[in-house]
Amino acid sequence: MRELRTGTNAWLLSSAILFACPLLIGTAKAAQDHSHAVHTTPASHVQQKSAGIKTGRSAPGARMASGKHRVAHAFGISCVPFAREVSGIQVAGNAWQWWDNASGQYARGDRPEAGSVLNFRANGRMRLGHVAVVTRVVNPREVIVDHANWQSGGSVSRGMTVVDVSEANNWSAVRVELGHQGTFGSVYPTYGFIYNRPATGAVMASVSRPAPQPAINPVPSDLRPVAERPWQTMEEVAEFPDRPHRVIDTRINTGVSR
């Protein structure tokens, strides 16, 4: 009787083990698959974003095209690392520090060249300045740039037009195209261009006659320091007090009528 009971227990134990094995194997495989998904999905996402920056292309479906313009939405990218990656110019600091930090390391000047970096100065609307990579020179007053974080959300804007509106055509003041609207924004002060070649000790300046300013939409605002704005700007006229004009006679009174 004891032997029969022992044999029955052994048979039941064996059956339980055989029944449980597929469940254990399935659970282990599911856990392994979940672990694989957790570790590979974020890495693949980050690699895809990095590849988009290095090659200058965005992932399929993350691009808007309109004529010569393309805006690749790569959120979280600021202008400085984008400019370093695309141009190869390795300058330390925030965008407003690039001009001084490039001194003695990279050539600088006010002549636009493809591959150079247009360096924006800090102003009341853009405290950290800005940098944009020139991809093509259209004429002495117009260039095409790629830059990041000009629009909200840290997106990369490609094929955008920038025009020089400085009186001397020295690229000290520019206006940037607003998306795909065909209009241009405010006047921004700039330092000039930083070139991807060693500094020679001299700043490259244009020797040609200043080109005419382009005919574009009226200026919304001028972000240059007041002392650098021309007196002809509409903003300066609007700030002038509304009172009758008084003519001052500067002639010396000699008692003789003229």
pLDDT at 152: 72
Tell me: pLDDT of 168 over 50.
yes
Is the Cβ–Cβ distance between 160 and 144 less than 8 Å? yes
Burial 14-50 (b: 16+ CB within 10 A, else e): eeeeeeeeeeeeeeeeeeeeeeeeeeeeeeeeeeebe
Tell me: pLDDT of 222 over 60.
yes
Each residue of 92-149: pLDDT tens digit? Answer: 999 999 999 999 999 999 999 999 999 999 999 999 999 999 999 999 999 999 999 9
* pLDDT band for position 27 (cuts 50, 70, 90): very low
pTM, to two decimals: 0.63
- Nearest residue to 172 (alpha-carbon basis) of 215, 125, 200, 206: 206
CA-CA distance, 249 to 239, in Å (whole number)? 26
pLDDT at 43: 31
pLDDT at 208: 77
CATH of region 65-205+213-239 = 3.90.1720.10
* pLDDT band for position 76 (cuts 50, 70, 90): low
DSSP class of residue 97? G
pLDDT mean over 177-181: 82
